[in-house]
Chain A
Amino acid sequence: MSGFLEFQGVTKRFGHVLAVNDVSFSVKKGEFFSLLGPSGCGKTTLLRLIAGFEQPDEGRILLDGQDITRLPANKRSVNTVFQNYALFPHLSVYDNIAFGLRVARRPKDEIEREVAAMLRLVQMEDKADRFPNQISGGQKQRVAIARALVNKPRVLLLDEPLAALDLKLRQRMLLELDLIHDEVGITFLYVTHDQGEAMSLSDRIAVMHSGVCEQIASPAEVYEAPKTSFVASFIGDTNFFDGVVTSFPENNYCKLDINGFAEVVCYNDKQKAIGDRVNLSLRPEKFRVSVDPPPRQNPHMNVLRARVEDIIYSGNHTNYWVSVGARRVAVYQQHLGYLLDEKPIRWGDDVWLYWDADTGYMLDDYAPIDESLLPPKAPGGAASANPFTSGREDGAAK
């Protein structure tokens, strides 16, 4: 069970604030592991505990079987890439990268060789003599990564390393980080509040919320099988339904009575019994809407009548907000066929809403969600470039 980097019941308080609350998990060797969560969720504190800048109040941290809980920061074989880079402003790029090796009193020729290799890895060979205030944000980022990696740390800690970069650069650095991870094979522990970064880079993600690890799983699992309502809503968009189990139409499937909505079939992987309360998360892209009734292929298909309330067209897909009774459901529909050949869906249309029972996921628990913690969502009611409502049908997919 023991992993390469292991947390055992780690708790950290700042005064009365519980920053990290009894967190236990382990990271495998060579893994790209992300700590994902909104600001203030304790992910940075967790990283600082590993780096040695903070000491936990309870619990232990093990690195490769060795207890490093009380080891000072400069004695730990982990290195950090800081959010604002924290490069030494009075040292050149070369000296910044060489710093760790010089501290370790490595032989001169070895330092030269290693630093040159790092400069090559981050493509900064021609900037070795520059000072931090003479290079761009993206270049600073590379120097910070090289400065940490040159020491061959057992774990590389990255604290929101891309947060200060603009979107284009962020996407490029994302690819480069992935390449560097593949090339050096060091364990990466990546702290971010950006689900996109975490999803695209990580082998596994720990989703954190108010000092607690809500779920640790692969990106696909975290998205498709969220354990809690927080995970479901923090990562991607979702529709929540709470209902009561009424019957079992067949093995592994149950019928739910969702208050004010309808009776729906859903996959019963949680072994619920009749009368149990169930919280269901249904991702918007699992739904389909159409003007014509759907072909009824299997008995697990839920089919409802709905009214279109809002449409946002964005080329490859359209976001619909439809109402079923008093409930609003978000639907993201990919345009698989040639859109202009399809029957257009307009505001106020009565449409068919259908989804497969297998696509919903029962949450372990449901708690009201603080909307301010969630990443910004697409606006719901804004009129937008929409071929159906504006009549400009030439703007469609081509």
Chain B
Amino acid sequence: MRRSFFSMTMLGLVMAFLYVPVILIFAYGFVPNGVSMSFFGHDGRFLGFSGKWFGLIFSGHYSVRPLLQSFWLSLRIAGLATLVSCVLGTTAALALHKWKSRLQSIHYGLVYTPLIMPDILIGISLLMLFVASGIECGFWTILIAHVTFCVSYVTMTLLARLQDFDDRIIEAAYDLGAGPWYTFFRIELPLLLPGIVAGGLLAFTLSIDDVVITSFVNGAGTNTFPTYVSSMTKHSRNLPAVFVLSTLMLLFTCALVGVSKFLTSNHEPRRKA
């Protein structure tokens, strides 16, 4: 098929718009001069790439303690939020798939809304809720906030997978004498696991790099990795280090998405007898 010049140009522009910033961030992680933010000296000479920002980060030039603390907090929150939202999301998706009624369409709306609601709105409303109910902001409020939007992603991912789930398989299990629990753990769960894992990875990814919502509900002194990094940008001499961290996070996220894609593709899990 012949592609027109126009459409190829548009494609190129769009790709550039999306990915040039990412490439720049990656590149500026290797910038030699952190003040001028330039690869070139005053005389216009190319100074080459520098690995010093990587070195600074890993060698403890910046006080690594808060960085590691925030990273550990992010991991705990993302892990817990993933776990909770997987359980809640799976039950929600199964309920939405099995029963159709007016109440269920409201249920669907409730699950769907966080996907389209602006983060700022979710953040502010949750903050107002926590303040109004006298809950002190910190670890638990961040966790609740993350579960709130993660559940939606898990549910939607799983609902899509349930579309091509053969419900007769469940009937077959009942027919062969299995009760609801046995059927769930031996038939439904193993068959839906790739979907649940995919949804969970998505939730983990979203949770671990959320800045906007977290910044509303984290309270004073509690920083997740992304909010800590964003506060680092306020000191401009640290900028390249921020770029390095961003690059590392990008790679981490890509790896997660890659695993998730691999699991959602047509690989049925195989178990030997």
Give A contacts to B, CB under 8 Å. Answer: 51-53, 72-75, 78-80, 82, 84, 86-92, 94-95, 99-100, 103-104, 129, 131, 133, 147-148, 151
Cβ–Cβ contact B175 & A92, under 8 A: no
Kindly list chain A residues whose C-beta atoms are within 8 Å of the C-beta of B169: 86-89
Cβ–Cβ contact B177 & A103, under 8 A: yes
Say yes or no for B190: interface residue by CB 8 A criterion: yes
Which of these, B175, B179, B190, contacts A79 with CB under 8 Å?
B175
* Given contact pairs A74-B176, A89-B169, a sample of 11 additional A-B residue pairs in the complex whose CB atoms are under 8 Å apart: A53-B175, A73-B175, A74-B177, A80-B171, A80-B172, A82-B168, A88-B172, A89-B191, A91-B271, A99-B173, A103-B182
Taking CB as reference atom, which chain B residue is nearest A157? B175
Task: Say yes or no: A86-B176 contact (C-beta < 8 A), given A92-B273, A103-B182, A131-B270.
Answer: no
Q: In this complex, what residue of B is CB-closest to A97?
A: B176
Beta-carbon contact of A86 and B273 below 8 Å = no
Residue of B nearest to A159 (CB): B168
Q: A53-B171, A94-B273 known; A74 and B166 CB under 8 Å?
A: no
The 5 A-B pairs of least Cβ separation, nearest first, read A100-B176, A86-B168, A86-B172, A73-B174, A103-B177
Checking A72, A79, A84, A133 against B176 with a beta-carbon cut-off of 8 angstroms, the contacting residue is A79
Contacts A90-B190, A92-B273 known; A82 to B172 CB distance under 8 Å?
yes
Kindly count the residue-residue contacts between A and B in the assembled complex, taking CB atoms under 8 Å apart. Answer: 76
Alpha-carbon distance between A94 and B273 when the two chains are bound, in angstroms: 8
Q: A74–B175 contact, CB under 8 A?
A: yes
Of A52, A53, A90, which is within 8 A of B269 by CB? A90
* B144 sits at the interface (CB 8 A): no
Q: How far is the CA of A87 from the CA of B182 in the complex (A)?
A: 16
Closest A residue to B183 by beta carbon equals: A74
Q: Once the chains are docked, how many angstroms separate the CA of A82 from the CA of B167?
A: 12
A74 near B273 (CB under 8 angstroms)? no
Is the beta-carbon distance between A86 and B171 smaller than 8 angstroms? yes
Q: With A and B bound together, what is the CA distance between A10 and B195 in angstroms?
A: 41
Contact between B191 and A103, CB atoms less than 8 A apart: no
In the complex where A53-B171, A129-B273, A133-B268 touch, is A84 in contact with B166 (Cβ < 8 A)?
A: yes
B191: chain A residues at CB < 8 Å are: 88-90
The closest CB in chain B to the CB of A94 belongs to B273
A145 to chain B minimum Cβ distance, whole angstroms, is 13
Cα A89 to Cα B178 in complex, Å, equals 17
* CB-based nearest A residue for B167: A86
CB within 8 Å for A103 and B268 given contacts A53-B171, A92-B273:
no
Residue of B nearest to A144 (CB): B172
A105–B176 Cα gap in the complex (Å)?
A: 12
Chain A residue with the shortest CB-CB distance to B180: A74
Contact of B120 with A by CB under 8 A: no
Residue of A nearest to B187 (CB): A88
Chain A residues with CB under 8 A of B175: 51-53, 73-74, 78-80, 148
